[in-house]
Amino acid sequence: MSAPTTEVTAARPATPGPQVEPERGSASPMERADHRCVPATVLATTRVAPQLHRLTLAVTGLAGWAPLGPDEFVGLVLPRPGTRLPDLSGITGPNPRPVVAALPEPVRPDVRWYTVAAHRPAPELQGDRSTEGGTTEIDVDVVLHPPGEVDEGPGATWVRRARPGDELAVQTGTTCYHPPATARTRLVAGDETAYPALRRILQEEGDVELHAVLEVDVEDALPPLPRPRRGSVDVVLREGRPPGEALLAHLRSAELPDLDYGWVVGEQDLAARVRRHLVRDRGLARTSVYFCAYWILGRPRG
């Protein structure tokens, strides 16, 4: 996460995604009209950096689908070890959890949400990659904490063990970064789990002033973030403090211009406290700040 992530979800956050429900008056995710839960197979796993893992998935049934924004996330429906995916045909909307929760516990899959790093529709595939049946390839980036630092949940465990040929399902999600065109000065911030979405936002953002702040626990464990055309990128070290304290201290002392829009994701308390700072101290309207809990300190995110 998206991300669209340690038990962590790079990915990736709308009503079914890795987030707390936005407060009334907060910026909200974009609604997607059509949702699908479709079969997928792992094509490759790549360790991009010490804490960044990439899954390349072949997904059938996504013809016509495309990301709505840079932080587009999808749900990975992950079979329990030693089991195959049960019948998921009852999933028709954006939230697979009611159908999944009704399945018998021994075969009940886990659902985790991650950011889409790349999307290759069938016509773009070449060489020895089959395009039969409208197969689409997507890359999903997952940020994993160093082993032993936190208790990993089923998503992180599955990603670490994933191998080519492993089967899963992909549930469509949506995008949460969609500021109005009038927002010309923007802040995007978060911890490591925000990295995949931050990278995509910085890559795709146009002619606006964009300031990005990333809080990390380990220096150089993630690739450098792209630089915006106008704005700044700052990486701050946690240095043993609880998630969010280093980021919040940096923002309180930072000389930033007047902001029009804020996007904050990461650990639950981090997201809430930084959002509060942007509203109370920097004067942003609540409706101009999107914030989301990608993970919760001390327990796996459901």
The alpha carbon of residue 69 and the mean position of all alpha carbons in its chain are separated, in whole angstroms, by 12
The average pLDDT across 11-30 equals: 49
Amino acid at 251: L
In angstroms, the CA 223 to CA 95 distance is 32
- What tokens appear for 13 in the block? 């956050």
Better-predicted residue by pLDDT, 153 or 30: 30
The Cα–Cα gap between 153 and 156 comes to 6
- DSSP strand pairing (261-267 vs 289-295): parallel
**Residue that has been written with the tokens 């059938």 in this structure:** 60
Instruction: Please give the structure tokens belonging to residue 186.
Output: 């923007």
Q: What is the dihedral of CA 227, 233, 237, 243, to 10 degrees?
A: -110
User: What are the structural domain ranges in the chain?
Assistant: 37-172, 185-295
- Between 124 and 14, where is the model more confident? 124
What pLDDT band is residue 301 in, cutting at 50, 70 and 90?
low
- Tokens coding 296: 């919760």
Q: Is the pLDDT of residue 3 over 50?
A: no
- Average of per-residue pLDDT values in the chain: 87
CA–CA separation, 112 and 171 (whole Å): 10
Which has more pLDDT, 148 or 272?
A: 272
What is the pLDDT averaged over residues 273-280? 96
Fill in the DSSP letter of residue 7: S
Q: In the predicted model, is pLDDT for residue 269 greater than 60?
A: yes
CATH code of the region 37-172: 2.40.30.10
List, in order, residues 6 or more apart from 89 with CB less than 8 Å away.
Answer: none
> What is the mean pLDDT of the segment spanning 213-226?
95
**The CATH number of the domain covering residues in 185-295:** 3.40.50.80
pTM of the model: 0.86
What's the confidence (pLDDT) of residue 125? 54
Q: Is residue 122 within 8 Å of 136, Cβ to Cβ?
A: yes
Percentage with pLDDT > 90 across the chain: 73
Q: Are 73 and 202 in contact (CB under 8 A)?
A: no
> Would you say residue 292 has pLDDT above 70?
yes
Averaged pLDDT, 111-132: 74
Q: What is the mean pLDDT of residues 154-168?
A: 93
Are 252 and 234 in contact by the 8 Å Cβ rule? The answer is no
**Using an 8 Å Cβ cutoff, are 264 and 190 in contact?**
yes
Q: Mean pLDDT across the stretch 56-64?
A: 93
Rounded CA gap, 17 and 212, in Å?
23
Whose tokens are 């300190």? That residue is 297
The pLDDT of residue 115 is above 80: yes
Predicted pLDDT of residue 302: 53
* Over residues 141-145, mean pLDDT: 89
Taking the C-alpha atoms of residue 131 and residue 78, their distance in angstroms, rounded to an integer, is 24
Question: What's residue 154's pLDDT?
Answer: 87
Does 209 score more than 50 pLDDT? yes
**Amino acid 18: pLDDT:** 40
Q: Are strands 185-191 and 261-267 parallel, antiparallel or unpaired?
A: parallel
